[in-house]
Amino acid sequence: MTVMTPQRSFVRTASEEALPPPRTVAGPLAWVKENLFSGPINTAVTVLMAWFLFWIVPPILDYLFFSAVWTGQDGSACREDTTGREVGACWAFVIDRVNYFLYGSYPADLRWRPNLFFLVLAIGIVWMLWLDAPRRGLGAIYFFVVVPILSYWLLAGFPAIGLSNVPTGVWGGILVTIVVSAVGIVISLPVGVLLALGRRSHLPIVRLVCVIVIEFTRGVPLITVLFMANTMLPLFLAEGITVDRLVRPLIGVAFFASAYMAEVVRGGLQAIPKGQYEGAMSLGLSYPKMMYFIVLPQALRIVIPGIVNTFIGLFKDTTLVSIVGIFDLIRTVESARIDPLWSAPSVNYSGYAFAAIFYFFCCWGMSWYSQSVERRLAASEKR
Amino acid sequence: MASVVDQAPPRASLIYDPRVRGFFFQGVLVLLIGWMAYEAVTNAVENLRAARIASGFGFLGQPAGFDINQTFIEYSAAASTYGDALVVGLLNTLLVAAIGIVLATIIGFAAGIARLSKNWILAKVASAYVEIIRNLPLLLQLLFWYNAVLSTLPSARDAIELAPGFYLSVRGLSLPAAVFDGRAILILIAFGVGIVVSLLVRRWAKARQAATGEQFPIGLTMLGLVVGLPVLAWLLLTLSGGTPVTFDVPQQGRFNLTGGSQLFPEFVALVLGLAIYTGAFIAEVVRAGILAVSRGQTEAASSLGLKPGQTMRFVIIPQAMRVIVPPLTSQYLNLTKNSSLAVAIGYPDLVQVFMGTVLNQTGQAVEVVAITMAVYLIISLVTSFFMNMYNRRIALVER
């Protein structure tokens, strides 16, 4: 039985649609007011910044794209007196010289070898950096053992299997930049771990040696280490033994990066609670086993962002080898831009712009990776 | 009664004794290093003899025979020694480092605070600056400033006049030079007195505020004393008998700028490049430091009635400085070490003068490299010593 209630005409049966919030507290207008014009000072800053952007951004875009020259055979394509218009970036020059920027003077018919080297290295890097990749232990062996040997055979040559020798003097450009940084990371990581372990060792002499090496290297500029490798290394070796001109700065860079890597790794080692060490010891593990199975896997995982940041620094620092006469990207740009065939004022900027874009995207990609790892680690900490 | 006391622990084999192992490994390390050092030294002696290169530090007293364009001490190719060249290079390095550190700190603090600004567009511009500059190699930036910007400036004849007396041309920045006569020392004394008196006033004002709570406009008073006293001295001297300071303003001639003092383009490019590069890193340090101060501090300060400026000055900055100072020190050291990139653009710093020219002329690689590295190490150690002292002063005092 239902009790009939009389319909009251003033009671709503359906709820009214919610009104949109007033435009002054939500929506784009409110956002603009809150973030750009919330007060007189804020407004002044906004106007000033807008003026600054207006002053700086359109000329840059115009230079890089709208009035850039994309095709041409020589410098006359990029000069105002011959084209009769304002000339932006001379990309024709970069396109013309892109092989020089990539490989230096590496013989043109052998360029597949550096290309294959890039591929071999890229596989190794992806395997190492992708945290969910299968068989990462195998990946480490591939990266630290297989890649160096394979790369050496590919780039320098291995006559026994038909790869002719290519002297390092003709290597250049991005190839050398990548070789120097790859050697830097492959050597500095294990050496840095050893130095860090040595610095935290209980043996006084080992600790002293490691502290001296690390602090000395971190106290001097890289360029002095490179000069030292260049001038003093040949002195210290017995007569008759010569070190390749490319290998000398490689040793310097690797040595320098190892000291910085050691400090990063030490940070990770210090963050591991003492209980982990004690637990490992109570299981009867020896020092190498304790480090290899218990401590280092945890410590290195924490410091992945630090390692990547060190590597970004190393990657930027490889430009310094150009000062001691190695043809890395910077040096090839420098030597290409003074080429009389391409003499045009715009060529100066274009070469630097190309190098800047290359370095920016490499470093930016690495720092993006390190930030994503950091977020991931933070998430796993929270649980 | 059987007893278990006095029973010696079972003797393990010696190779399992950690102490024995420790001695063994360290012995191996010492032997290895000793052998390497021995090999290096004997080879070096042999190679140096073969190449007929002298050894020892006697070369520091020999005449240098090359010119340096920017010098702070008396230096000439004919009369000066390699030792003088070392001092010139060192002073040039210190000058660049000092000016670079001041500029980088200003840029870095401005950009770091701007990145946290509520103004969206300002924060984005600051972020863009930090991200772009940090991801480009310093060497590339220096080459850009030197080869692509400064070398395309007009010649001295068509120099750009930035302000009256300030000319910018391909030969650098020409600016008025102050010429002091003998009485100008009084201005310096007035400046010194201003500093001492203002420090005393600050101490008194602090004590009074602690005792009574009354505030005293310290900042304005200090500014007035430090700036006002020298200006007063200058005025009095001028009134009593002609101005003690005259300015040698550069004159734009037909082909050249004459007079005034000049900043070389290498110097300008190096300072600019270092300050902008390091400024981006300092901005990140400052931002992290300010973010490390918890929001509750700001809210508590507001609830006490402090104005935003006061909150920043008395609450946020003192706490943020504790986080900022250690990484800031390493940025200062990085800037000093990075000033060695001067060699790429030809600014006569320590590396360019000493490791470049002197090393090439004498061939004494071991001594030259050792001296240069030692100088940088000393600079690093002294800087970190002073920064550590400052850090201890501002560090949190716990019970």
Q: Is B22 on the interface with A (CB under 8 A)?
A: yes
Segment holding A5, helix H or strand E: none
Model pLDDT for residues A296-351, shown as the tens digit of each residue: 988 988 888 889 999 999 999 999 999 988 899 999 998 888 888 888 878 888 88
Range name among A235-249, B114-128, B167-181, B283-297 with the lowest pLDDT average: B167-181
Q: Which CATH number fits domain B60-173+263-399: 2.40.160.60, 1.10.10.10, 3.40.50.920, 1.10.3720.10?
A: 1.10.3720.10
What is the per-residue pLDDT for B279? 96
With CB atoms and an 8 Å threshold, state whether B134 touches A363: yes
How open is the CA angle B306-B309-B314, to the nearest 5 degrees? 65
Model pLDDT for residues B67-98, shown as the tens digit of each residue: 787 777 777 777 788 888 888 889 999 999 99
What is the per-residue pLDDT for B5? 56
The closest CB to that of B119, out of A36, A227, A231, belongs to A36
Average pLDDT, chain A: 87
A-B CB pairs within 8 A amount to 149
Q: Is B380 on the interface with A (CB under 8 A)?
A: yes
Any bridge partners for residue B166, and if so which?
B163
Looking at the whole model, is its pTM more than 0.90?
no
The closest CB to that of B377, out of A49, A53, A219, belongs to A219
The closest CB to that of A36, out of B120, B152, B372, belongs to B120
DSSP labels, A86-147: ----BHHHHHHTHHHHHHBT--GGGTHHHHHHHHHHHHHHHHHH-TT-S-HHHHHHIIIIIH
Tell me which chain B residues have a C-beta less than 8 angstroms from the C-beta of A50: 121
With CB atoms and an 8 Å threshold, state whether A319 touches B381: no
Q: What is the mean pLDDT of residues B136-156?
A: 86
Q: Which of residues 188-247 of B touch A (CB under 8 A)?
A: none
Answer for the pair B205, B301: CB distance below 8 angstroms, yes or no: no
First to last CA, chain A: 55
Torsion of CA B25, B30, B33, B34, to 10 degrees: -150
Please give the residue of chain B at the shortest CA–CA distance from A355.
B140
Question: How near does any CA of chain A get to the CA of B274, in Å?
Answer: 14
Distance between CA A292 and CA A284 in Å, rounded? 14
Task: Give the CB-side neighbour count of residue B170, counting CA atoms within 13 A.
Answer: 12
Reduce the DSSP state of residue B160 to 3 states and report it. strand
Model pLDDT for residues B152-192, shown as the tens digit of each residue: 777 777 777 777 777 787 777 887 777 777 777 888 888 88
- Categorize the per-residue pLDDT at A3 as very low, low, confident or very high, splitting at 50, 70 and 90: low
Q: Which two tokens stand for residue B387?
A: 């920064």
Q: What is the mean pLDDT of residues B292-298?
A: 89
Q: Which of A216, A314, A360 best tests the B interface by mutation, with the highest count of B CBs <10 A? A: A360
What is the per-residue pLDDT for B56? 76
Positive or negative: CA dihedral B112, B117, B122, B128: positive
Model pLDDT for residues B271-291, shown as the tens digit of each residue: 999 999 999 999 999 999 999
- Categorize the per-residue pLDDT at B223 as very low, low, confident or very high, splitting at 50, 70 and 90: confident
Tell me which chain A residues have a C-beta less than 8 angstroms from the C-beta of B136: 316, 356, 359-360, 363
What is the per-residue pLDDT for B215? 78
Q: What is the mean pLDDT of residues A157-178?
A: 87
With CB atoms and an 8 Å threshold, state whether A236 touches B39: yes
Tell me which chain A residues have a C-beta less than 8 angstroms from the C-beta of B44: 232, 235-236
Most confident listed range (A59-73, B16-30, B95-109, B244-258): B95-109
Distance between CA A20 and CA A29 in Å, rounded? 14
Question: How near does any CA of chain A get to the CA of B340, in Å?
Answer: 7
The closest CB to that of A209, out of B29, B46, B337, belongs to B29
Distance between CA A352 and CA A344 in Å, rounded? 14
Q: Is B121 on the interface with A (CB under 8 A)?
A: yes
CATH 3.40.50.300 fits A183-326, yes or no: no
What is the per-residue pLDDT for B331? 92
pLDDT at B2 over 70: no
Q: Which of residues 280-339 of B touch A (CB under 8 A)?
A: 337-338
Tell me which chain B residues have a C-beta less than 8 angstroms from the C-beta of A35: 118-120
- Categorize the per-residue pLDDT at A8 as very low, low, confident or very high, splitting at 50, 70 and 90: low
- Categorize the per-residue pLDDT at B1 as very low, low, confident or very high, splitting at 50, 70 and 90: very low
Distance between CA B139 and CA A222 in Å, rounded? 12
Model pLDDT for residues B236-251, shown as the tens digit of each residue: 888 877 777 777 777 7
